[in-house]
Amino acid sequence: MGLSEFALIDHFFRPLGANRDDVVIGVGDDAAVLSCAADRQLVAAVDTLVAGVHFPLDTAPGDIGYKCLAVNLSDLAAMGAEPAWATLALTLPEADEAWLAAFAQGWADLARRYNVALVGGDTTRGPLTVSVQVMGFVPSGCAVTRGGARPGDDIYATGTLGDGYGGLRCILDGNRDDEHSRYLRQRLNRPTPRIELGLALRGIATAMIDVSDGLAADLGHIVEQSGCGARIELDQLPLSTALVRLAADFAQRPELSRLEQATAAQRCAIIGGDDYELCFTAPPGHAAAIEALSHRIDCPVTRIGRVVEGVGLSGRTAGGDSVPLAASGYRHF
C-alpha cells in the first residue's frame, strides 16, 4: 500500500469529523490553528489504548475508533467541559484500508454527536496503539476538579457500574453470546461519555471524576485530593440486570475475592474499571436539582454514599456492617 502518513489521515479522517468555525487550519499543515474565546479556559486530556492491554486483540475496529474518543470525552465530561477538538496518534501494524475505514466510522459516530473536529493526526507503523488528545472549554473558573468534596456531601454515580468489567470477563472467559453478555460487551466497547450531565453539573458538583479504573480507585482520588473520606452504601450501587445475572460467574476472580461481604455484582462495581460513568459529590441541598437534571438529560443518577471526615473509603452493607475498601483498581503496571 502506497499511502503516506499524510494521505492516510487525510483520506480516512478529514471528511468524518464535525466541521467547526473555530478551526482556522485543521489537518494538513505542520499544526492546527484554533480560535479560543476570551472568557473560556481550555481543557485538555490525553488517553492511550493499547491492543491486548486496554482492549482484546480481536476487538472490532469500529469499536476501537469509538472507544478511543469516548474515554477522552469522558475526561472532559468529568471536568464539566464542552468538547471541541481532538488529535489522533494511530500506530498500526499495517495500513489495512478496511480496518481504517471501520475505525474512522466508529470515531465519526461519536465525533459528530458531540461536535468534535479532528484537527491533527499522526499515523505510524508499529504495534496497535491509539493515543487521543481532546480539547474543550469551560467558562473561566468553572471547571469541576477532584479536590472540592466536603464532609456531608452526597456521592453520586451515573448509569450502572461494573458493566465494563463484566463485558471484559464475558469476552475473556469464552466469548459467550447470550443477551446479557452482549449487553455487557456493548457497555465495554461503546461506553457513553456523560458530556451533557457533566456540563449541567457545573456549579452543582463539588468534585467529579470519571470511573475508568474502578469506583474504589477513582473515588479514592476524590477523597485523597479533597482531604476527606467516603462511605459507600453497597446496596445503593447502581447495577445492571445483566451484571447481576452474570456476576456470580466471575466473583471468584482474585481481584474481586477480597470483598467477601459484598455481592458478586457489587464487587464488579467497586473494583472493575472501564465504566466511564461519572462519580461526583454535591451538598444534600442540591439533591432535588440533581434529580431534575437526571430526568431532563435522561441520564440515570444514583446516590451511592456520603463524604465523611477522615481518610479512605469504606462500604456499608444492607445489614449495617462496615467493609474497608482499599482505593485500588486496575493498574496497567
- Applying the rule CB under 8 A, the residues between 246 and 305 that interact with a second copy are none
User: According to the binding rule CB under 8 A, does residue 192 interact with a second copy?
Assistant: no
Q: Provide the mask over 208-247, with x wherever binding to a second copy is found by CB under 8 A and - wherever it is not.
A: xxx----------x---x----------------------
When the beta carbons of 79 and 197 are compared against a second copy, the nearer one is 79
Burial pattern 74-87, b for ≥16 Cβ within 10 A else e, equals: bbbbbbbbbbbbbb
Choosing from 61, 62, 120, 305, the residue that interacts with a second copy (CB under 8 A) is 120
Residues 60-89 that bind a second copy (CB under 8 A): 75-76, 78-79, 81, 85, 87-89
Nearest-approach distance from CB 331 to a second copy, in angstroms: 5
Choosing from 19, 36, 112, 296, the residue that interacts with a second copy (CB under 8 A) is 36
d(CA 155, CA 28): 45
Whether 284 and 156 have beta carbons less than 8 Å apart is answered as no
Q: What is the dihedral of CA 260, 175, 215, 321, to 10 degrees?
A: -20
All three cell numbers of 301, joined, read: 443518577
Handedness of CA 141, 146, 152, 157 (dihedral sign): positive
When the beta carbons of 39 and 177 are compared against a second copy, the nearer one is 39
Nearest-approach distance from CB 322 to a second copy, in angstroms: 25
Burial pattern 148-159, b for ≥16 Cβ within 10 A else e, equals: bbeeebbbbbbb
Pairs from 287-290 (Cβ < 8 Å, separation ≥ 24): 287/154, 289/204, 290/156, 290/201, 290/204
Number of residues in contact with a second copy, rule: CB under 8 A? 74
Choosing from 48, 192, 236, 314, the residue that interacts with a second copy (CB under 8 A) is 48
Nearest-approach distance from CB 32 to a second copy, in angstroms: 5
Nearest-approach distance from CB 93 to a second copy, in angstroms: 10
Which residues on neighbouring strands pair with residue 330, listed in sequence order?
Answer: none
Beta strands in 68-187 (DSSP E): 82-92, 117-125, 129-139, 154-158
Residues 14-33 that bind a second copy (CB under 8 A): 24-25, 28-33
When the beta carbons of 81 and 290 are compared against a second copy, the nearer one is 81
Nearest-approach distance from CB 94 to a second copy, in angstroms: 8
When the beta carbons of 183 and 276 are compared against a second copy, the nearer one is 276
